[in-house]
Every structure is written in structure tokens, then in C-alpha cells.
Structure 1
Amino acid sequence: MNNHRITGIGLALKPVAIAVHPASDADTTLRDGFASRQSEDLQFIEVAAEQWLGMGGPWGQHLREATQRWPSVCVSQSLSLGGPGRLDMALVHQLATFVRGHEMAMFSEALSWSDDDAPLFTCLPIPATTAALQWTADRIMRVQDALGQSIGIRNVSHHAVPPMSAMHEAAFISALVAQTGCHVHLDITALAENSHRFGFDALQFLAALPMQRVNYVRLGGAEASPIEPSLNSAAARLLPAVLSHLHPEVPVCVDDWAQLKRWSDAAVSTSKKTVAC
């Protein structure tokens, strides 16, 4: 039963995990390991708002069953926290209702802009300027007020650094945390991609973050991911360095069952070594 506490190793729950049987659209089951013994290794689920918000019928029913069975976290990339357009408060309140309705323990939003009074369908980097800092901090505070909790801001993969940026992204994140009291949700795969793309040291980036405010970690790059295999490996190599700076109960979310099994086994091995010492 869901105790609303996020810890350990979790997995992103996608609508494709629900199988619709040909005989009847109403005849559905959870698949992809969620209904099998594999789920014994699963300690929480991650729910993407863009995939599940407003979902009804059998999919909505299975989502309800899943969030009652496992603690859950909601991730979003639709609020355009740093965007020049108006903050969509109607969407914010929909998300708040969704999070409360499923008793989700955390809410995570992409630190990007994706809307200019019309959706852009991509996550663009926020110019790291003093003006953008104040603008984004104000919007984070409004979202937190609506949700009634501190949110997590999540670093994203991007393809350009805005030329007007006056500070490094890590300094920008640190300043937002200091001003708003939000948490950092660290996407290691996005960090590895940006480090490779722009030639900065990922470990130095981590050293500049307020690691005491990191309370959620993502490791994407599943086998079906389009990113380069070398970047998958780079992200996986970064994870131990990240975890060494965090409280041992900070949760890690992965994208597929193979990753879940691999990191669950690694966690057990580490625990046994600690006990042996």
C-alpha cells in the first residue's frame, strides 16, 4: 500500500504499460512487469503529467491502482517556468488537483521555457540573467503556493547556451533554490548530454550545486533511447559520484526494467558491503 514516501529505486510508468486486449477496450491489464514478480524491486513510480493528466477510462483506473499501490512522483515539462508568456494558472491548478488526487509525494518541473502564449513543443534553456532569475523565482513561488508544497526544479538537455547568460546554469539553479526554497531534481542523463555537448566538467557542475537540496535523481537513457550509447554510459558512470554526495535515501528513477534490476542489485551489493564493514 502507498505510504507516500519516495525512496529507493523507481520506474517511469507510461501508458504503454497498460495492455488493451482485442476482445474489448474495457478489458485491460497492467503489463511490462508492473503486474509480475518484477515489481518486487519497484519502490515507487514516476508519472509524467503530459502522458496522464486527464486520462480516464481503464487507463485512469489503472493509474489510480498504481498510485495506490506505490508511492508516486509527478514530473512535468509544461509550465514553462522561465518563459516570457503568461504562467498558465489553469494548468497549474489542474496539476495541483492531479497531484493531490493521487496523493503524490513530489512534483518536479523542468527548468526551461516551452511556451510563449503558445506551446513550442520543446524545452528551451533559460537565459541565466538577473532579470530571468527574478522572473523564474516568482513563477516557482506561484506554483509552490498553488500546490502547497516545495517543488523540484529539473535540469534539462538543451542544444544551445543563450548568449546573454551572465552565470553558469549551476549558479542559476543555486540562486533559485536560495530564493524560493525549492528542491533540485537532478537529471543525470541531461547533465551528461550537456557536458558532452558544451564541453564542461559534469563533476564541477555537481560541485557548484546545493547538493543538500537534491532530493530526487533521474537516470534516463533506456535501451530504446535515441541518445548515443556513449552518453548512456557516461550518465551511468556519473551516478555513483552523484549518490556519494547525497543522503542514502534520496530516490533514483530509471526508465526501464533492466535498469531497475541493475541498480536494485547494485544497491543490495553496496548495502551488504556496508554491513560487512
Structure 2
Amino acid sequence: MQISELGAVGLGLRREMLDELLIDAPKQAQFFEVAPENWLKMGGKFGRQFKELTQRHKFICHGLSLSLGSPAPLDVDFVKELKQFFDEHNILLYSEHLSYCSGTGHMYDLMPIPFTEEAVGHVAKRIRQVQDILQRRIAVENVSYYAAPGQEMSELEFTLAVLEQADCDLLLDVNNIYVNSINHGYNALEFLQAMPRERIAYGHVAGHYEEAADLLVDTHGAPVCDPVWQLLEQAYRSHGVFPTLLERDFNIPSMADLQSELAHIQTIQKPFIEHVKGVA
């Protein structure tokens, strides 16, 4: 399912935004994204407000706890709950992190999957199982990571192999590419250009925290920085315009500030959209 045929801009919805969005949703946002885990069991006032918003606007979901890389069996009951939730709220697209967050219990963090051939096969099989249960394709996100235990492949080789073997889509997180390129010393543009254009479902941009010159922390708690904006422009240049969502998880600014960042995405998209329309 597609968000838009040619470009769209989205905003990650957080609970503290509900009242304001119900009164006056920003015109710059054509769709919204939520973590389904935060809304699956939600009732009462928040549940009613969320239902009202999903009836008015396009929504997608970005999961937190599917734990694609976990050695534990896939939580099939949870996936079935997701399917029901997606159908109820007309969720257009579902994405998850290329990571894991459970073993003998839930770790409440996104842990790096070992970059190995064995892990590729394991994760791809679980993604195919999820897609079969949901009866839809899912997108997996290239994630930020700070260590690579048992590494036998590069992050790029691992990501491409999972996408190919799972036959799934890609959530292209531009900020994560930039963060990882600084932390692990690789060329962000080369990584970006190697991503399979035909699999990109949508993208993310976000801010991060600079712990040191060679250590960035993916916090989603700051404005998007200039190098990430520049990398987003390169992404459109390499792959064409794709729907792009702004993430902000804490230190949430005013809606006016968020609208400014959404408008900046539109500004970057505009010449590429005009070029495609001109050619057509």
C-alpha cells in the first residue's frame, strides 16, 4: 500500500500532540506515524481521539517490539493483534526496525543484530512469516547501532542481503545513515546510493545528539542538522522523491517549529517533483 504516488511529508504523532492535532492538524503533514504498541490497548479519551484522527488522516505504523532478530520464537499472537489493529484503523503501511529487543525477556531497547550470513537467513525467514500473517509487505528500517558483535559482513552487505532474501520493503532512515557513517567511519553517500530504489517505501529524518566529534547518539530529540538535510537531498537525487517523515520523540518543540521542519522537507522535494512532472 502506498502513502502517495509522488512525494508526501509525514509527522510522527506523540500523545501530547493529540489535542492540538484534533483542532488544527498541520497542512504540511499528509500522513502520520505511530508505534502500534502505544495504541493497541488504548481506550477511553485517548482511544477515541486516536480513532477520530485515523478516520480523518492517513496513518502508518512503525513498530518497536516485533524483535525481528531475536532467537526466541516469533510472537504470532502479537502479529495477529497488529493485523486487526491495522484493519480497524486503515493503516497504510507497517515498518519495523532491523534489530531485536527480546531474548529470555523484553530488553526495552533496540539491539544490533550480528552482521552474519546466519543472521541474514534467520531474520529474512521471520520477516516472511510476518508478511504471511499480516497478508501485506512490511518495510524494515536501517537502524543506528554502536557496536557490531560477531561481525562477518558490513552493515551495507547485511542490509541488502536481508532485503533480498526476505523480499520486503525498506524504510530508509537518512539520519541513521549519517549517524552510523560518523560512528563507524564509512561514506554515507556511498551507503545511501547502494540502497535498492525499488524497495524504498518511505524515509525518516530526525535529529541526534553529538556526544563527541566521532560519536553521535540517535536521540530524535533535536532539530534535523544540515548534513542530514543535505543527505536527504542526495537521497532524492539518487532514488527519486519518496514519502518522508519527521521523527521527534522528546524535547518536542512547538507545532510551529515542527511545521517549519516539515516545510523544509517539502522545499527539498519540490525541484525533484517539478522535474518529474515536467518530464511527464
Report what 2:252 is aligned to. none
Contact 1:217 1:251 in 2 (8 A): yes
For residue 113 of structure 1, the aligned residue among 100, 109, 112 is 100
CA 1:99–1:204 in 2, change beyond 3 Å: closer, same or farther? same
2:205 to 202, 216, 219: 219
> How many residues matched?
258
Matched residue type, 1:82: G
What residue is the counterpart of 2:156 in the other structure?
Answer: 170
Q: Which moved more, 1:152-161 or 1:260-269?
A: 260-269
Amino acid at match of 1:133: V
SS at match of 2:201: strand
Report the counterpart of residue 25 of structure 1 in structure 2. Answer: none
2:29 to 42, 47, 51: 42
Q: 1:251 aligns with which of 220, 243, 248?
A: 243
Moved more, 257-266 or 238-247: 257-266
CA distance 1:222–1:126, shift in 2 (3 Å): closer
> 1:96-143 deviations in whole A, cap 9, x for unaligned?
111121111110010001100311111111111111111111110111
CA RMSD of aligned residues (A): 2.5
Equivalent in 175, 179, 187 of residue 189 of structure 1: 175
State how far apart, in whole Å, the 2-side matches of 1:212 and 1:56 are. 38
Of 248, 253, 263, which aligns to 1:261? 263
| Partners of 2:200 and 2:118 in 1: CA distance | 25
Q: Note if 1:202 corresponds to 2:199.
A: no
Structure 2: tracts of 5 or more residues without a match = 210-217, 248-257
Deviation larger for 225-234 or 194-203 = 225-234
What one-letter code is carried by the residue in structure 2 that aligns with 1:252? T
1:131 corresponds in structure 2 to 118
Deviation at 1:246, TM superposition (A): 2.3
- Which one-letter code corresponds to 2:78 in the other structure? L
Give, in whole Å, the separation in 1 of the partners of 2:277 and 2:165: 40
Q: AA paired with 2:243?
A: P
- 1:97 alignment partner AA: Q
What does 1:44-59 align with in structure 2 at a 5 Å threshold? Answer: 44-59=31-46
Q: TM-score, normalised by structure 2?
A: 0.83
For residues 109 and 228 of structure 1, the distance between their equivalents in structure 2, rounded to whole angstroms, comes to 20
Which of 110, 124, 137 in structure 2 is aligned with 1:150? 137
CA-CA distance at 1:229 after TM superposition: 6.7
Alpha carbons of structure 1 residues 227 and 106: separation in structure 2 relative to 1, 3 Å = closer
Contact 1:171 1:208 in 2 (8 A): no
Structure 1 position 89 matched with structure 2 position 91: no
Give structure 1 stretches of 5+ with no counterpart.
19-29
Give a deviation string over 1:22-52, Cα, whole Å, max 9, x none. Answer: xxxxxxxx21x5532x622221111112322
For the Cα contact (< 8 Å) 1:189–1:232, is it kept in 2?
no
Q: Give the secondary structure class of the aligned counterpart of 1:173.
A: helix
> Residue 158 of structure 1 aligns to a residue in which SS?
coil
